[in-house]
């Protein structure tokens, strides 16, 4: 067994985009589990836009990562030592193991994953928080109805790509907003979206007038900013906007709110923030349904896997903000 645990710690709080000096690589001996603990050898780390928020010293739905702490991250790994009755050596698990090669856990929040059902990275994609966010955001928060027009931003990303596919599975008209021709082609040709809008090359408002002539019933928003403002001008009566995220604002010193929010009045529309963690008691049921769609070939999970171990994390995180990833961004460890 590797006697050393390489870890990535938060060294400074970024202002704007995270910089190399915001991180510190450390190493320490691999710890051994005590009673009711497991030792996990991490293989895949989930890289999420939310991490940028966790680096700020601001109150939110979860405590900030403290300076000097191992960076918080969802990850997949294998149990290599167990003093816990619920976990056996050799089992694959998902948990908040952090950006490090080995993690000790008491099992809280740890779920088992089955590599015979899907490849391990997929448990960070469609069968992980990503898929669950899309699932509950559309089906519970938006209460999607068949035949509705659904617009998804960040549509070629992890959550957005699953959201648009769920909209299609539920008999909706799905339009994705994404940056660049390659992403727009992928969501239409491979994922089955009805149409795409390239927000980097097109006027989103004009494109939606053309591609969603009956206006927008549900907007699943991952990006905020100008894209949100543009969609606000195209709402159908009774529209529901799901605020899943606002990545365009995550590195801003002062987040900018929507200028066109008064459109909610005429449309009798609602805008609701959501957090996937609120649905934790229903993850198993939702994962089973998502796994069924994957098995039937109705849902595609794509992961953008970066190699290089924990030292590659700082650069890999930036890919979310440059839009380099298609699908779920995953880092392999070591």
Interface with ligand NAP (CB under 6 A): 48-50, 129-130, 133, 154, 156-160, 178-180, 183, 222-223, 225, 227, 244-248, 274-276, 320-321, 323, 325, 329
Smallest distance from ligand NAP to CB 52, Å: 8
Q: Measured from the CB of residue 295, what is the shortest distance to ligand NAP in angstroms?
A: 22
**Nearest-approach distance from CB 45 to ligand NAP, in angstroms:** 13
- Which is nearest to 50 in space by CA: 191, 202, 245? 245
Angle at 270 between CA 211 and CA 323, to 5 degrees: 55
**Which is nearer to ligand NAP, 8 or 317 (by Cβ)?**
317
Query: 154 or 258, CB closer to ligand NAP?
Result: 154
Asked if 274 and 141 count as a contact pair (C-beta separation under 8 A), the reply is: yes
Nearer to ligand NAP, 33 or 98 (CB): 98
Contact by Cβ (8 Å): 258, 269:
no
**Nearest-approach distance from CB 294 to ligand NAP, in angstroms:** 17
Output 36 or 332, the one with its CB closest to ligand NAP: 332
Cβ atoms within 10 Å of 45's Cβ, excluding its own = 30
| Residue 255 DSSP symbol | P
Least Å distance, CB 297 to ligand NAP, is 22
Rounded to 5°, the CA angle 246-23-307 comes to 80
Contact between 64 and 55 under an 8 Å Cβ cutoff? The reply is yes
Segments of 183-269 assigned E as strands:
195-198, 216-221, 235-243
């Amino acid at each position: 067994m590797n006697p050393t645990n390489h870890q990535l710690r938060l060294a400074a709080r970024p202002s704007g985009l995270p910089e190399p000096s915001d991180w510190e690589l450390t190493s320490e001996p691999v710890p051994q589990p005590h009673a009711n603990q497991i030792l996990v050898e991490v293989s895949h780390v989930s890289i999420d836009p939310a991490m940028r928020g966790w680096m700020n010293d601001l109150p939110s739905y979860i405590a900030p990562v403290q300076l000097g702490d191992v960076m918080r991250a969802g990850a997949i790994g294998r149990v290599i030592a167990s003093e816990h009755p619920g976990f056996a050596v050799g089992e694959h698990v998902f948990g908040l193991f952090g950006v490090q090669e080995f993690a000790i856990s008491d099992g809280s929040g740890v779920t088992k994953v089955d590599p015979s059902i899907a490849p391990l990275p997929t448990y960070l994609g469609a069968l992980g928080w990503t898929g669950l966010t899309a699932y509950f955001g559309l089906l519970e928060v938006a209460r999607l109805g068949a035949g509705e027009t659904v617009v998804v931003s960040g549509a070629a990303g992890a959550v957005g790509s699953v959201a648009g596919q769920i909209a299609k599975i539920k008999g909706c008209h799905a339009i994705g907003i994404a940056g660049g021709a390659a992403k727009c082609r992928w969501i239409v040709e491979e994922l089955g979206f009805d149409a795409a809008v390239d927000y980097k090359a097109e006027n989103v408002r004009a494109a939606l007038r053309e591609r969603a002539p009956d206006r927008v019933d549900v907007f699943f928003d991952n990006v905020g900013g100008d894209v949100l403002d543009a969609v606000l001008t195209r709402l159908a009566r009774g529209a529901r906007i799901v605020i899943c995220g606002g990545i365009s604002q995550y590195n801003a010193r002062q987040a900018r709110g929507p200028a066109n929010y008064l459109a909610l009045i005429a449309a009798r529309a609602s805008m609701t923030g959501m957090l996937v963690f609120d649905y934790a008691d229903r993850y198993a049921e939702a994962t089973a349904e998502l796994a069924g769609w994957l098995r039937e070939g109705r849902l595609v999970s794509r992961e953008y896997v970066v190699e290089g171990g924990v030292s590659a994390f700082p650069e890999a995180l930036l890919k979310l903000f440059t839009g380099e990833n298609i699908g779920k961004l995953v880092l392999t460890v070591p």
